Structure 1
Amino acid sequence: MMTSQPAAMARIISLALTAFVMMIAAVSFPFLTLDAKGLHNATSVVDAVLAFNEGYAIPLAVAVAFFIVVIPLIRLGALIYALGPLVREQPPRAGAKRAFGLAERLRPWSMAEIFIVGVTVALVKVAGLAAVTVGPAFWAFAGVVIITVLKDQMICRYSIWEALEQ
């Protein structure tokens, strides 16, 4: 799809903004709840990151935080920054090419979809041992993954680079 048209750019920006807001929701709300033999445990994405906050696991906590939250947010923010003026048919912002280049370089490192697949597999395994209830953050994360895939399929990188050159 050619994304040099303002309407196509607006769709991409809309999806990026939606994913950004949903990612904030995914970090803010409970992710899942486990009930087993009278024990109740609710956890969030932040709790999952903080589970690795001791000793040699600290680098793992930092990596998890970056790959599933920070990098996807930076990527979405850079895309919104780079394409925002193009939607209104205005000249690109200073640094728009660098921002779009950053968004493109971060694409392979944005692993929210890997996280949601891993969680889903784990939930299938745990479901026999405990009552599992997925929270709003799970659905927000799933939405981020679907929206990100849609957004990435709509982007014509060549057209965006052409629009940013003008």
Structure 2
Amino acid sequence: MSRDLDQLIACPRCDAVYHVEEPGMGERAVCARCHNVLIAPRKRAGKQIIAIALAIVVLVIAATIFPFLSIRAAGVSHGSSVLDAALAFSSSSLLVVLTLAVAALIVFIPVLRALLVIYVLTPVVFDRPPWPGAIRAFRLSEGLRPWSMAEIFAIGCAVALVKVADLADVHFGPAFWMFSALVVLMMLKDSYMCRYSVWKSLET
């Protein structure tokens, strides 16, 4: 019975179930119902994902230090960083939970997911046995994926700044461009990640 289940794969979007037929390198297995990509193995994808994850960690940490933007209006200017935005509600003890949630969504969770991916894929890339707890680490990384909102924060700020630009002079700091690069890197990481191949490597 377990062997029969090993030969099945379910689409995470529409729950359609298929018998596994692994495609070749560079090919894709796509759900016939919703066209979601189920299996997409790529050569050297593991090393590329690790490199991207390392870049994500560096960019997120650096973006919390450098200025995100500065606004000048009526002779008064004010600059803020991503960390300032996360701590904007910390002045009230009633909003401490909201402050921690904002900081987690835009800083801590993206860094944690990237570190978990590095932990899981490093032994796989070098043909070594998975490190202890790799399955739980990858499961946690996938579970946190909807809660990693660094790129949502950057897009939301960009939309808000378009409206503010008519009222004040807005200057983007280094952290803004770091978050812009972060959006692209996170999209690349998700596109390179073949979760079926990762699970298969961990289970074997």
Please confirm whether the aligned pair reaches a TM-score higher than 0.5, indicating the same fold: yes
Q: CA deviation at 1:164?
A: 1.1
1:31-56 Cα shifts (integer Å, max 9, x gaps)? 00111111111100111112110223
**Counterpart pick for 2:124 among 66, 69, 86:** 86
Q: CA deviation at 1:58?
A: 2.0
**Counterpart pick for 2:65 among 9, 19, 28:** 28
Matched, 1:46 2:83: yes
Q: CA deviation at 1:121?
A: 1.0
Q: Show structure 1 runs of 4+ deviating over 4 A.
A: none
1:58-92 Cα shifts (integer Å, max 9, x gaps)? 22211110111111111111111111111222111
Matched, 1:120 2:158: yes
Aligned residues of 2:87 and 2:103 also touching (Cα < 8 A): no
Q: Which TM-score applies when normalising by structure 1?
A: 0.94
Amino acid at match of 2:112: I
Instruction: Name the structure with the higher helix share.
Output: 1
1:79-125 Cα shifts (integer Å, max 9, x gaps)? 11111111222111111111111110000110112111110111001
Instruction: Name the structure with the higher strand share.
Output: 2
Equivalence map 1:91-106=2 (5 Å):
91-106=129-144
Q: CA deviation at 1:57?
A: 2.3
Aligned counterparts of 1:85 and 1:21: Cα–Cα separation in 2 = 21
Aligned counterparts of 1:88 and 1:18: Cα–Cα separation in 2 = 20
Tell me the equivalent position of 1:143: 181
Count of residue correspondences:
164
Three-state SS of the structure 1 residue aligned to 2:72 is strand
Tell me the equivalent position of 1:2: 41
Cα RMSD (Å): 1.2
Aligned counterparts of 1:130 and 1:95: Cα–Cα separation in 2 = 51
Aligned counterparts of 2:97 and 2:140: Cα–Cα separation in 1 = 23
Tell me the equivalent position of 2:33: none
Higher relative contact order (CA 8 A, sep 6+): 1
Unaligned runs of 5+ residues in structure 2 are 1-39
